[in-house]
Amino acid sequence: MSGTENNRVSQFHLLPNQEAVVTCGGWRIEFNAAVEGPQIFHNGQEYTLADGVMVPAHVANDRPIDGAPAVVLRRLNQTDIGQMIETDNAQKGILLAPAFQHLDRKGNRVGPVVDYFAAPKDTGLLDGSRQLGTYNRDIKRIADLGDVCGHGGILLLNDAAIYDAAEENDLATLAMWHMPTLPLVNGRNIGSSDQVNPDNMYAHKNKGLLQGSFTDEADSNPTRSYWTATELRENRSLVYDVDLTNGRVCWDFKDNCFLSSRPVRAELHQP
């Protein structure tokens, strides 16, 4: 190995059973004659150079699965929406909403900024039943999902439960498949026409792998309407649903209508 100090260069030849370590500001570089090239770590995570950029080693080593379209980036953005994202040789899901932050029932942004992914199919196709479901049935069917893109489901009863997980920075909960909130389905705020999230199912239904995966034909009522986890504030036995032909918002009783649904999951957004 070589080193510099006061503009002087020092060289040391390592024997096969020797190693040298350099540490600085959370970085650790290990030199070992038995290993080709230095091993680089930052706060315990291994890094490597990829196209001249220092990135986590698992990002540089990612490969597509079974030829499926994939994007592997440290920072996901608008250009990746609609694509299957793969990391560590596992699929995350189809990117729906990068850099998303939840709004709680008072309209305050809560929790970390996350990337939201959509499952590749509707709930009735994922569980093999090919059936529509009531809201209460579908949140349970989503919770019972065993392995969709390498992830299981979790029972989150409503938007309040999702906001609680976000506010508590409970990323392990948000990383499991659950029913999406209203802003993730049509981007609107509760009880108004305010657009709070431009990245949503209605806006991106024709992008990438999302295209053709939703039931949105005009003659397919009620399958063209999708459940959301957002409860009506005046009556919490009702939840909002969205017609994907036009983005129109309605509300229905949780055990009275049979509609479509699409699970989502989140992971921490890389700044």
Q: Tens of pLDDT along 18-60?
A: 777 877 766 778 777 566 677 787 655 566 665 445 555 544 4
pLDDT of residue 234: 86
The structural domain count of the chain equals: 2
Residues 257/222, Cβ–Cβ less than 8 Å: yes
55: its two tokens: 């990135």
Residue ranges making up the domain that contains 21: 2-60
Collapsed DSSP state (helix, strand, coil) of residue 37: coil
Q: Please name the helix (run of DSSP H) or strand (run of DSSP E) that holds residue 98, with its range, or none.
A: strand 90-103
Collapsed DSSP state (helix, strand, coil) of residue 268: strand
Same domain, 31 and 151: no
pLDDT of residue 211: 94
Residues 155/141, Cβ–Cβ less than 8 Å: no
Q: Measured between alpha carbons, how far is 63 from 67 in angstroms, rounded to an integer?
A: 9
pLDDT of residue 69: 44
pLDDT of residue 145: 95
Same domain, 23 and 138: no
pTM over cut 0.75 = no
Phi-psi region of 176 (alpha: psi -120 to 50; beta: other; left: phi over 0): beta
Q: Is residue 31 in a domain? A: yes
How far from chain centre, in Å, is Cα 187? 16
Q: Is residue 220 in a domain? A: yes
242: its two tokens: 């969205």
Q: Which residues of the chain have pLDDT under 70?
A: 1-14, 16-17, 25-26, 33-36, 42-74, 88-89, 191-192, 216-222
